[in-house]
Amino acid sequence: VGSGGMGAVYLARDPRLDKLGAIKKVKVPANLEKEIHSEIVQRFYREARAMASLNHPNIVTVYDLGEDEETKECFMVMEYLEGKSLDKVIEEDKFLSEELTLKIAIQACDALDYLHRKQVVHRDIKPGNMIYCSDEIIKLMDFGLVRRDDNLNLTRAGTLLGSVLFMPLEQIQNPKNVDSKVDMYSFGV
């Protein structure tokens, strides 16, 4: 279905329920140092757990998390969303109508408000991390840089993670000390 810097997403079908789903697998190059490999796997598990703890109509739902016994590849099973990423919608229709823009903004802000009340900071809000579904619902996805209020920080000193074009200066200068304001700034951009 798609791929990014850290993983790929595949369309899947549960044969018992005859239901479509999406499987996201993390890409971990075999030649990485053990510490970096472990950090990537921890980040992936953290993403899945954060998403699974959320229940909101504008946030993609996670159903399962696991590891392939043979390949040792980590994966998560999520709801399959029919639609396009918001960046593709914007690219195809340069000037969205006021009505559609407001519909998208209200749904995205509702999802962000929910996240922030749950003490979760996404840290990578951008159109490419939102799906515009065929039923005109926006779904926030890709929680790979999520930060929860659980004192576990997987961002190393000197490491910049995220999409610089949507990132506030505070997140660039001090990525360990961010709060919900970084998501609101990024959404505004």
Catalytic residues: 124
- Do 85 and 131 touch, CB atoms closer than 8 A? yes
- Sheet of 83-85: strand order equals 83-85, 130-133, 138-140
d(CA 28, CA 35): 12
d(CA 65, CA 183): 26
Sign of CA dihedral 47, 36, 5, 69: negative
